[in-house]
Amino acid sequence: MKLQILGCYSATPRAFTNPTAQVLEIKGHLFLIDCGEGTQVQLRRQKIKFSRIKHIFISHLHGDHFFGLPGLLSTFRLLGRETEIHIYGPKGIKQAVTTMLKVGQAWTNYPLLFHELSAVESELIMEDDKVEVHTIPLKHRVYTNGFLFKEKIGERKLDIDAVLNLNIDTCYYRNIKKGKDVVLESGEQIANERLTLDPPPPKSYAFCSDTAYSEQVIPLIENVDLLYHESTFLEQHHDMALQTGHSTAKQAATIAEKAKVDTLILGHYSTRYKDLELFRSEAQLVFDKVELAEDGKEFVI
């Protein structure tokens, strides 16, 4: 699993900082999470193939989280894309995006499939045989969701020494990896546990976009490997966080501590702060494993 930060600052783009956008590589998927202005430029800078993006997740309809989407979809068209793309976001995203594309006569020549969200409880919004994605309802000034990405448990691994010692034919290997027992020619049944090893533990990533401090997310993100939680402000501006529906670094760390996550990534910084290490220092008073998001940075599990 690899997370690439395209942008991690709040509000307006600047010369060397970008609003929120991320790419998560998980089990062969390349998911785009939020799409602030400049996202397609950042994708090019990080040499991410546009054609691999088939699912886009938008947390909410504030401009610094989705104003880059119409331009990216238009570029897909110019590049001759034919593969369908799925967009998951709040109710209203379809009207917002399609209006811009129609007015600009840039309607896509590939299937554009919208999945509009309005539920206030967590729901499963995307699933295949390898990955599932759930919403994380957040507390912001407008309807907002974070997203929980979870790998499914993989196949058991073949213990090659065990199967060779028992002279098991290769034609059984596939069924063994699926968890089935084997019956030898002698009639002896060999339990699957003797022939396989446990698969790697499934990995998980939780993206908590713009949100005020809310302990309601804790049961949804408990024990995740990696948590991105917004930290727009430091505690000295706690009142501003409360007024605007955002969190402080200390509050993000408190959520990470209570949810028993492995690693916390801070982001969505207000540009009023010149030293990002202040965010790490504040958070580490509560939670030890703290990383700082930075434009262009990668995190690998």
Is residue 237 annotated as involved in ligand binding? Answer: no
- Cβ atoms within 10 Å of 167's Cβ, excluding its own: 8
pLDDT for the residue 14: 83
Catalytic-labelled residue, pool 64, 161, 225, 288? 64
Judge whether 64 counts as a catalytic residue.
yes
pLDDT for the residue 15: 83
Query: What is the per-residue pLDDT across 224-257, written as a single tens digit (0 to 9) for each?
Result: 999 999 999 999 999 999 999 999 999 999 999 9
- DSSP secondary structure letters along 165-186: HTT--GGGHHHHHTT--EE-TT
Expressed as residue numbers, the domain containing 107 is 2-154+200-300
- DSSP secondary structure letters along 99-110: HHHHHTT---SS
Is residue 55 annotated as involved in ligand binding? Answer: no
Quote the number of domains for the chain: 2
What pairing do the DSSP bridges indicate for beta strands 157-158 and 145-151?
unpaired
Same domain, 176 and 214: no
Same domain, 122 and 237: yes
Same domain, 206 and 290: yes
Q: How far is CA 74 from CA 40, 50, 60, 69, 189, in A?
A: 11, 12, 20, 9, 59
Is residue 295 annotated as involved in ligand binding? Answer: no
Do the Cβ atoms of 36 and 13 come closer than 8 Å? yes
Same domain, 113 and 59: yes
Same domain, 228 and 270: yes
The H or E element spanning position 278 is helix 277-283
Query: What is the per-residue pLDDT across 121-136, written as a single tens digit (0 to 9) for each?
Result: 999 999 999 999 999 9
Q: For residues 146 and 57, what is the distance between their CA atoms, to the nearest angstrom?
A: 9
Ranges of residues in the chain whose predicted pLDDT is under 50: none
Same domain, 192 and 211: no
Radius of gyration for the alpha carbons in the chain, expressed in angstroms and rounded: 22
